[in-house]
Structure 1
C-alpha cells in the first residue's frame, strides 16, 4: 500500500476511534461532534450559535437577562439560520424563569441548560415534562450526584480556568473527582480547553464531550467587537485572572477576565467603599451595593461597544491559545484534527 494511502487508512481508523470515545455525547446532543459552545452573554446569540451547530457542534443561546419575548425572537432567528440542534442556557435566578422555560418548550428547543445555581424541583419538572433534555452544572461531586438523582439528563463540570463567573476548583481536579463516579448520565467538561488533544484526554477519562467558550468568542461569526477579539489574540493565559475581593465582609463573585484599567479601578473602588463604610458614611448594605454595581453594563460595553479598558473582558485561561480570528467551522475542524493526530501518534 502506498504511504499516502496507508496514512489515510490510519486517519480513518483514528477518527473512528474518536467517534467511539464521544459517541455518548454525540448521541445525546444529536450532533456530529460532542462539542458545545459555552453560553456567553452578548456573544452566544443567533449568529455564533447557528455557526457552531452548522459546523457539527452544539450551539447554546445565552438567555442572560432576556425577557420571554426577546428569547422567543432569538430562538426563532436562530432556527432561521440552522436546522441543526441547539440549546438555550437559562439562569436559575432569573425572575421569569418559569416563563422562559415555557418559551423554550413551546419553541420545541430540545435541550435546556439551567445554570447559575442548583435548579429547583419545579424547574426540573417543567423542562422534563415539556419534553426537553435538561443539562445542569455540577461544581462538586456531591452536587453532581444530587443532580443526577433529581432528574438532570446530563451535566457540565466547569473548572476555574473558564472565563466569566467561576467556581474555586480546576477542571483537572473536578474531572478526577466526578468522571469516575458519574456514569449513568453524560458528563461534559469545560474550563481552559483550547486544543483537541486535551479534549481527547478528558474523553478517555470518561467525559462525553467538551464545552468551549473563549475560542468561539473570538471566531469570525462572533458579533463581539473587533477590539474585543483583538484583545484575545494579544493575550496570554496569565492575563486572564479572577476578580479580587478585598474584604470578606463584602463578597465579590469571582469573574475571570483580562486584566485592564477597569479591574484596577475596581480595586480602588472597593478600597474607597470600605473606607466610607468604616467611617460610617455607608451602611453595610449600601456598601455591598456600591461594590456590586461597579460592573453594571461592563460586559456589554466590552463586547458590543469595544471598550476593552473600562469594560469587562471575560475570557478563560485558554485565551493564550487564541492566535488568530478563525471561522467557527475551522476551529471545530482544528480541534477534531488535533485529537485524531494525537491518536495517530500513539499508534505510531
Structure 2
C-alpha cells in the first residue's frame, strides 16, 4: 500500500486492534458481505466482516471456511443478538479461530460477550447511546461502533454527527470507537479520526465493489440513486417495535407496511408472541434483501442503502476503494496542517 503517514498515525490504534493495514471496516450486509467481498476487503488492507444474518450454524461454518480459503488476513463475523442459535454460532466462530465477533441487533444476551471472549476473540458491539456504550464496555466489549441514522439497513434515531459529538469526547480517548453511517469519502474519515475515532465503518460504498456478488441491477440502482432516495421505513403500529430500515424507496416499501399490519394482527390475536413477531419482521427483510441482491428484483426487493449512496457512482475493486479513501483522508489532513 502507499504511504499515508498522517492517516496511518490516527488509525494506528484501530488498525492494531483489527490486525489490518487500515482501520476501515466493512459493515456487515446480509447476502452481500460474503466470502468474496469479505476476502477482497481484507486482502485490500481493510477489515472484512461476514454477515451471518439468518444463517444456520452449518452455513456459517461453510462461509468462514470458504473465506479462509480466499485470504490469510484477519476478518470478523457479525452475529445478530436475537438469533435463536447465537451460542451455537459463537461456537462455530471459535472452531475457526475467528479473531473478531461483532454483535448487532440489540443488547447482547447474558453470557454472550463472555462466551466470545473465552474463545480468545475480540468483541465489537454497536452503541446507539453514550450510556449504552459505557455499559457495553463495562460488560467486556473490546470496541464499539457508533452508527448514525444515515446508514443503510437497520438504523437508530440519531445522526452520526450527533453521536460522534456525544460519544467520542467521552469514550474515544481511552477506548476503541469506530464511526459509521453516511461516510462516503476520505475527508469525512479525517474529521472523525481527528475527533478521536479509532477508525470507521462503511457499507454502502463497498456494496458495489467489483468483488461484490450483488446483482448488476442492484448496483445500477445504487448508481442512479441520490441521497434523498434512501428513506427510512415507518413504524406502523407502536405496539410492535420495529427497528427502522433505510433503503431505496420502491414497491417493497409498501409491501413492508402490509407485512407490519399482518404481524400486528397476529400479535393482537395472540397467535404469536413478541419475539416471534420480531423474527417474522427480520425474515421479511432477509427475504426481500435476497430478492434484490441475488435475483436483481429492484422493484419489490429491499435495496438497503445509506444516504451516502449518491456518492457511489461506479463499480471499483475493493482495494481501490480503500486506497481512494486513504488518499482522500491524507489529503484532507495535510491541507489542514498546511
Question: Secondary structure, in 3 states, of the residue corresponding to 1:297?
Answer: helix
Of 228, 249, 264 in structure 1, the residue corresponding to residue 254 of structure 2 is 264
Return the index of the structure with the highest Cα Rg: 1
State the Cα deviation string for residues 70-107 of structure 1 (Å, max 9, x = none): 11111111011000010001111111111111111111
Is the Cα–Cα contact under 8 Å of residues 237 and 318 in structure 1 kept in the other structure? yes
**How many Å separate the matches in 2 of 1:95 and 1:193?**
32
**How many Å separate the matches in 1 of 2:285 and 2:20?**
37
Counterpart residue number, 2:85: 96
Is the Cα–Cα contact under 8 Å of residues 156 and 243 in structure 2 kept in the other structure? no
Deviation at 1:294, TM superposition (A): 5.7
Of 252, 272, 281 in structure 1, the residue corresponding to residue 242 of structure 2 is 252
Of 298, 303, 316 in structure 1, the residue corresponding to residue 306 of structure 2 is 316
Counterpart residue number, 1:184: 174
Deviation at 1:273, TM superposition (A): 5.7
Is the Cα–Cα contact under 8 Å of residues 31 and 290 in structure 2 kept in the other structure? yes
**Root-mean-square deviation (Å):** 2.3
Runs (5+) with no aligned partner, structure 1: 1-10
1:51 aligns with 2:40: yes
State the Cα deviation string for residues 296-323 of structure 1 (Å, max 9, x = none): 6111101100001101110000101101
How does 1:1-348 map onto structure 2 within 5 Å?
Answer: 15-182=4-171, 183-267=173-257, 269=258, 283-285=268-270, 292=281, 295=285, 297-348=287-338
Runs (5+) with no aligned partner, structure 2: none
**How many Å separate the matches in 2 of 1:214 and 1:325?**
12
Is the Cα–Cα contact under 8 Å of residues 110 and 132 in structure 1 kept in the other structure? yes
Provide the TM-score with structure 2 as the length reference. 0.92
Deviation at 1:139, TM superposition (A): 0.7
Is the Cα–Cα contact under 8 Å of residues 156 and 244 in structure 2 kept in the other structure? yes
Q: Per the alignment, do residues 302 and 337 of structure 1 end up closer, same or farther by CA in structure 2, a change over 3 Å counting?
A: same
Provide the TM-score with structure 1 as the length reference. 0.89
Counterpart residue number, 1:6: none
State the Cα deviation string for residues 250-275 of structure 1 (Å, max 9, x = none): 443310000012213444x379769x
